[in-house]
Structure formats: C-alpha cells, structure tokens
C-alpha cells in the first residue's frame, strides 16, 4: 500500500511511515520528513535539547543563584528568585525569631504556602506575608520539632520585648 507524504508530497510505501495506534492510521509525514522536522526543532531550541535535561539546567541555575545572592536553594525552588532575594534582604539574612544565619527558610505567615500550591490553589507570596526563619523556628511553628508533633501557636514563638 502506498501513501503520500504531506510534507514532501512523495508517494512512498507504508513501511516509510509510523503507524499511530491512537488514531488507527499512519502518520502524515514520512519517517524521513519527521526526522528532518525534529532536527530543525533542535537547531532552533538548542537550550532545551542539547543532551542536558531542563531539570539539570534549572538545578544548576539555582545553585549558582544561591551562591551569588546568598539565598537558600529551597527558597529559590519554592518561590521565585526575585521574591527570595526580597525576603532575605528584608530580614538581613537572619531568622526573624532567634537571629540565626544558618539553614534559613521562608515561612508563609497566613499558612497559604507550598501545601496550598499542591492543592492547586494560589499561594499568598506577598512580601508582607513572608518571613525568614531558621528551620528550627519554622519547625516550632508547624509543630514538627523533635518529632513530638505538638502544635506551637504563632504567638508562642514571637520574641518577647
């Protein structure tokens, strides 16, 4: 059975075409034209397909940005770089509760953060709603400190004046 390619307009044997099971028919461009199309696409978009996955490039970008701007990789991953830098600058790269400069995380004051995103809702990433905490203070707020699972209210973690 011969089929005409819609790209090159040549009539070729059906072995020169891929069979599409989902549509129960042969693909419209022949294998040669399809390969040509893919090569052209890779030439136009080399940053996406030059042997390195997009995830690896994103990871490398986050690592470089983390070192350059002194912002944690997780803060860049869960928020944009711009938001992460703004929050880190707002709190002078110190925990808002204890003043620690180690292992800092961004906390959503109203609780509409990453879990909110997983429920396909939009998190409140307003700078006024974000604060910088070390992971220990962040754990106290979420009740995960030492694995005891006790809830600590927001007011209990506020520094006393």
Same domain, 55 and 87: no
pLDDT digits (tens, 9 = 90+) for 51-85: 555 555 677 888 888 888 888 888 888 788 888 88
Total structural domains in the chain?
A: 2
* pTM summary value: 0.54
The residue range of the domain holding 84 is 72-157
pLDDT band at 155; cut points 50, 70, 90? very low
* Residue 56 is assigned to a structural domain of this protein: yes
Same domain, 103 and 136: yes
Same domain, 64 and 113: no
Dump the DSSP string for the chain.
-EEE-TTT--EEEGGGS-EETTTTEE-SS-HHHHHHHHHHHHHH-TTTSSSS-HHHHHHHHHHHHHHHHT--HHHHHHS-HHHHHHHHHHTTTS-TTT---SSEEEEETTS-SHHHHHTT------GGGEEEEEHHHHHHHHT-GGG------GGGGSPP-
* Residue 18 is assigned to a structural domain of this protein: no
Round the average pLDDT of the chain to a whole number and report it. 76
* Residue 99 is assigned to a structural domain of this protein: yes
């Amino acid at each position: 059975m011969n089929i005409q390619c819609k790209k090159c307009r040549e009539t070729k044997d059906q072995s020169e075409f891929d069979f599409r099971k989902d549509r129960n028919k042969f693909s419209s461009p022949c294998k040669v034209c399809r390969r040509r199309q893919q090569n052209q696409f890779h030439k136009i978009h080399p940053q996406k397909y030059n042997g390195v996955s997009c995830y690896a490039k994103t990871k490398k970008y986050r690592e470089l940005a983390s070192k350059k701007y002194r912002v944690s990789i997780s803060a860049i991953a869960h928020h944009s770089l711009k938001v992460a830098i703004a929050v880190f600058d707002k709190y002078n790269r110190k925990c808002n509760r204890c003043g620690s400069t180690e292992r800092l995380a961004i906390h959503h004051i109203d609780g509409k953060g990453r879990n909110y995103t997983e429920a396909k809702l939009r998190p409140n990433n307003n700078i006024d709603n974000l604060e910088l905490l070390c992971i220990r203070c962040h754990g106290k707020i979420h009740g995960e400190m030492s694995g005891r699972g006790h809830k600590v209210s927001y007011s209990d973690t506020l520094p006393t004046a």
